[in-house]
Amino acid sequence: MKKLNLGAGGFPLDGFQNLDKVTGWLFENGLGDYGDESVDAITVSHALMYVPLAHWPVVFSEIARVLKPGGVVRVTEDATTDPKSERFGGHPEAVTLTDPPLIVGYMEIAGLRAARVREDETMFADDSLIQNIHGGAPKVFFVEGVKPS
């Protein structure tokens, strides 16, 4: 099973190919090292807020391209537009404010079936995509997308 951890930073995951800018990989460069429908699952945790919104169409189209039918992408991100979140207004180094409707929208544009999920639930076959390094709601939200079969 092939699983990717995009924007891994200092939190590499066992059993995943961990991609990050510190290893020379950037979201906006896509996933050219991976063939169409070659990846079972992808996790992205607290990284999209550092990617300019102008690059998101490429990011999500690449995720959709490499996912196998039935493959799952999970986004765990700061709730920067929720006044109840301590992350409201964004991180000083962040360039994009993130919330569930924004993530769901970009996933759907890329052709994925997307929905907000609870921190302890997943549409994947196991719980390996679940990350809550920085806590749960309302500070953080969780969205998953599935590539239609």
- CA atoms of 85 and 99, how far apart (whole Å): 11
The model's pTM is 0.94
- CA atoms of 28 and 104, how far apart (whole Å): 19
- CA atoms of 12 and 40, how far apart (whole Å): 18
Query: How many CA within 13 A on the CB side of residue 88?
Result: 6
> What's the pLDDT tens digit per position in 118-142?
999 999 999 999 876 666 666 789 9
- CA atoms of 112 and 131, how far apart (whole Å): 21
Q: Which domains does the chain have, with CATH numbers?
A: 3-146 (3.40.50.150)
Question: Phi and psi at residue 43, in whole multiples of 5°?
Answer: -120, 140
Handedness of CA 83, 112, 59, 30 (dihedral sign): positive
> What's the pLDDT tens digit per position in 14-48?
999 999 999 899 999 999 999 999 999 999 999 99
